[in-house]
Structure 1
Amino acid sequence: MGTMETKTVPSVSAGDGQRADVIVEAASRLFLAPGCARVSMDDLARELGMSKKTIYRYFPDKRSLLAAVLDRRFAAVERTLVAAAQDAQGQPYGVRVQRFLIAAGSELEGIGAAQLATGRGDPMLRPYVEQRMEAVVYRRLDELLGDGRRLGVLSGPPELLGEIIRGALEQLVASRLPRELGWTAADLLRATVDTVLYGAIRPALPRY
């Protein structure tokens, strides 16, 4: 899948770079806030106390700004996943999977990437979100499941398990279910995969 085309942002000085960071940080708070209605550039300008003309000096259009917001957040996801993998080195395979799912679920819950792509932001960003998810999250998931195949610890095809986990990530991050159950998306994701790996029906207790 090709990357989304956006207008390039001109090179800026250190001071301008700091202002661009301030704009992206404010846009992140507004565009990615849970339960927030569609946010306009006017809303962002009011939040920042600056004119839209100033914002457009750094980001020529809303799509470029949203792409910068997503880049920043997915960079944080990547750092978290790398740290989780390092912490789980040498641990049993099940622990490695669990650490990955907790990290991915927690970070993606904060991003609300599916909500951003399907309504809150520019719908043209959907392919961009999918591309970032593929590069940052799903590539690592496929590598982790490939390790499970090589270790001989997966009872089913890793490709099938990968598709199930992908579907769970995309659905749970955007659904109301976490709030209704009082769970985090990471909790629900871990429960989903536990169900797939170990089954939904617990063994019956022996009768005496």
Structure 2
Amino acid sequence: MIIDAAGRLFLAPGSGRVSMDDLARELGMSKKTIYRSFPDKYSLMTAVLDRQFEAIERRLVAAAQDTQDRPFGERMQGFLLAACGELWRIGAAQLAAGRGDAVLRRHVEQRIDAVVYQRLDELFRDGHRRGLLSAPPALLGEIIRGAVERLLNSPLPRQLEWTAADLLRATVDTMLYGAIRPGSEQVEPATTRVSERKDAS
């Protein structure tokens, strides 16, 4: 009950600094009662975040199972859209970028890395092993990390009237399939031009 109420207050969009007094009022109990279960605000927030990341983990496992027999691009989209939707819901990027104290920010960053990015890296490595990706998995992982963290903090979804998940889908499509529409123009891949410059030198 305490964790549920703390999650509603602490992770609410646009919520400012929430005190233990606020939580006690919400629960209709004394702070002393709360402190019997959680010795400080940090331990309570850690419990709230851990519960949220357990839910994210379950969602990502379910998304992976739903798309396991699909083409690689669909598997990648399913994973990233599930991850982005869940991280958006709990405001994890905002927590990692500035809400809360430094210890909690590190905790959020570590949990995002363990729950989301390590799975993402394995997915890219699998695609690379199967000959489906020409770019190094580490590079693709860095690009997606940057896109996810930027989109979750960006005003762009509101400006374009898209969801963060819609923008991430467009980002993944652009990264995996290119931004130029097929047949619109014949453009030589940058990797080919780089290799030719190396050969010439």
Give the match for residue 105 of structure 2: 126
Matched, 1:149 2:106: no
Matched, 1:76 2:35: no
Structure 2 counterpart SS, 1:55: helix
Structure 2 counterpart SS, 1:120: coil
Give the match for residue 96 of structure 2: 117
CA contact (8 A) 2:87 2:93 kept: no
1:204 Cα deviation after fit: 5.1
Structure 1 counterpart SS, 2:16: coil
> Which has the larger displacement, 166-175 or 138-147?
166-175
CA distance in 2: counterparts of 1:150 and 1:131, whole angstroms: 27
Give the match for residue 178 of structure 2: 199
TM-score (ref. length: structure 2): 0.86
TM-score (ref. length: structure 1): 0.83
Higher RCO (C-alpha 8 Å, min separation 6): 1
Give the match for residue 176 of structure 1: 155
Give the match for residue 40 of structure 1: 19
1:182 Cα deviation after fit: 2.1
Residues 100-122 of structure 1, C-alpha deviation per residue, up to 9 Å, x if partnerless?
A: 01110110101111212333323
> Cα RMSD (Å) of the superposition?
1.5
Larger CA Rg, structure 1 vs 2: 2
> Which has the larger displacement, 145-154 or 120-129?
120-129
1:205 Cα deviation after fit: 4.6
CA distance in 1: counterparts of 2:97 and 2:71, whole angstroms: 37
Question: Percent identity, aligned pairs only?
Answer: 72
CA contact (8 A) 2:99 2:105 kept: no
1:203 Cα deviation after fit: 3.7
Structure 2: stretches of 5+ with no match in the other structure:
186-201
> Which has the larger displacement, 193-202 or 138-147?
193-202
Residues 118-139 of structure 1, C-alpha deviation per residue, up to 9 Å, x if partnerless?
A: 3332332111111111111011
Runs of 4+ in 1 over 4 A off after TM superposition: none
Question: How many aligned residue pairs are there?
Answer: 185
Taking a change above 3 Å as real, the CA distance of residues 90 and 103 of structure 1, as seen in their structure-2 partners, is: same
Residues 35-58 of structure 1, C-alpha deviation per residue, up to 9 Å, x if partnerless?
A: 111211111111111111111111
> Which has the larger displacement, 195-204 or 74-83?
195-204
Residues 71-102 of structure 1, C-alpha deviation per residue, up to 9 Å, x if partnerless?
A: 00000000000000001111111110011011
CA distance in 2: counterparts of 1:189 and 1:26, whole angstroms: 31
Structure 1: stretches of 5+ with no match in the other structure:
1-21
Matched, 1:188 2:167: yes
CA contact (8 A) 1:106 1:185 kept: yes
